[in-house]
Amino acid sequence: MPYLALRLDVPAGEVENWSDALLEGGALAVDAADANAGTSREVSLFGEPGSATEVWPQTRLTVLFDAASDAAAALARASARIALPAPAYSIEPVPDDDWVRRTQSQFAPVHASPRIWIVPTWCEPPDTAAINVRIDPGLAFGTGSHATTRLCLRWLDDSVSAGRRVLDYGCGSGILAIAAAKLGASEICAVDVDADAIASCSANAEANGVSLWCGTPDRLHSGVFDVVVANILANPLQQLAASLAARVRIGGDIVLSGVLEAEAAAVNAAYARWFNIDVWAKEEGWVSLAGRRNRDHG
């Protein structure tokens, strides 16, 4: 199938934010290169938030989308998500090179938590007795390979039991919602602002044989949940604090991921009004925060 390449130059300090936001918004891959030289490095392919280590003063991002995508609209959504103005950009077609087939070899089953494996659809589960979440990385929006997702999955494995009601906010591929369903949650709602993510989540839920509701935030029913999990980015998490808190019952739990260690204090402060919250776990420079809704706050 044909593809589109979106190209933009960004300062070194913005590379991770742009890469993460574009991948979460539907990009299939992001390649980073020195805008003044040409050395390139793949940030992530069919993946999740990246962990770039090389820095160039001005970095050229080449962002791959399928040909049916609106790459300009995806850039606008990413700009709004990270509160940075969109730079000048170009969009051009990319010849069909069967990117999905070429990159399948890069993905193997991920043992994300004691009981949960994330298994690409073309692989056999390593442990048939485990909780196996089948995901097609070619659909993007989350494959379980990134630390932020693994942190959430470990918390869910440790804390979700039969009968709990779970909201996955910013569901992407639905990987967290599907895992919650397989852990025994009685009601699972998955929301995302991106229509492609909603379609991906719905397809993955059907492929995994689980039942959940998936839609945009404005269509979500007015009830509260025992657990709200949000694996997005630090800035939107802070902006959504009051809205997400309102979705957690008194005594319920919230889990926040997509947060760098340096950002944890600010996110924690945004939620401390409603939750007894702190860093729950760390991995590869990322943290997850978990808290319980406190009747005395708010």
3-11 vs 29-34, strand pairing mode: unpaired
Mean pLDDT across the chain: 85
Query: Taking residues 256-263, what's their average pLDDT?
Result: 92
Residue 190, burial from CB neighbour count under 10 angstroms (0-12, 13-18, 19+): buried
Kindly report, residue by residue over 83-120, the tens digit of the pLDDT: 999 999 999 987 655 555 555 555 678 899 999 999 98
Kindly report, residue by residue over 181-225, the tens digit of the pLDDT: 999 999 999 999 888 789 889 999 999 999 999 999 999 999 999
Amino acid 172: pLDDT: 86
Amino acid 101: pLDDT: 52
Least confident of 21-35, 137-151, 193-207, 215-229: 137-151
pLDDT of 6 above 90: yes
**Residue 200: CA count within 13 A, CB half-sphere:** 28
Q: What angle do CA 84, 256, 177 make, to 5 degrees?
A: 105
Contact 257, 288 (CB under 8 A): yes
**Strand ranges of the sheet holding 131-135, from the earlier edge strand across to the other edge:** 110-111, 116-120, 131-135
- Stated pTM of the model: 0.69
CA-to-CA distance for 103 and 296, rounded, in angstroms?
51
